[in-house]
């Protein structure tokens, strides 16, 4: 009787990035976040959706703050006083961006107080 040889199956291909890498890459700019929300394997993961939405809302918050400071900076005598404030706020957003990106790459969920609530609502809907 001939022996049956087990069928050799090719190794399965990876479906893409790991969850923590995807979550971290969502913070690079809002563009990967939008791509992750639109593509099939990533938009089905609640953690990836949360980080993508938080990245988008963090970008929107930064733009709103910068536009508001720009408008206030056009007022006489206030513009010079706002220069150090603008630098501190820019530094604060940069540090916050680094924190959320590092936490996401490490597989942790760091929820920004106001922005994180909106992101969680969007990710769960």
Digit-coded pLDDT (tens) for 4-42: 555 454 444 455 788 999 999 999 988 999 999 999 888
Digit-coded pLDDT (tens) for 101-122: 999 999 999 999 999 999 999 9
Confidence tier at 1 by pLDDT (50, 70, 90): low
57 and 115 Cβ atoms separated by less than 8 Å: yes
Q: Which residues of 58-85 are buried (b: 16+ CB within 10 A; e: fewer)?
A: bbebbeeeeeebeeeeeeeeeeeebeee
First to last CA, the chain: 59
- Output the pTM of the full model: 0.81
Tokens of residue 3, six digits: 């022996």
Digit-coded pLDDT (tens) for 54-106: 999 999 999 999 999 999 989 888 888 898 999 999 999 999 999 999 999 99
pLDDT of 9 reads 46
């Amino acid at each position: 009787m001939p022996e049956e040889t087990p069928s050799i199956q090719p190794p399965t291909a990876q479906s893409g990035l790991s969850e923590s890498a995807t979550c971290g890459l969502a913070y690079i700019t809002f563009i990967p976040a939008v791509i992750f929300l639109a593509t099939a394997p990533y938009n089905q993961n609640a953690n990836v959706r949360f980080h993508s939405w938080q990245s988008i809302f963090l970008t929107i918050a930064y733009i709103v703050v910068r536009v508001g400071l720009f408008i206030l900076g056009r007022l006489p005598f206030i513009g010079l006083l706002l220069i150090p404030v603008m630098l501190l706020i820019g530094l604060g957003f940069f540090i916050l961006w680094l924190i959320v990106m590092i936490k996401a790459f490490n597989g942790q969920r760091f929820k920004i107080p106001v922005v994180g609530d909106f992101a969680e609502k969007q990710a769960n809907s």
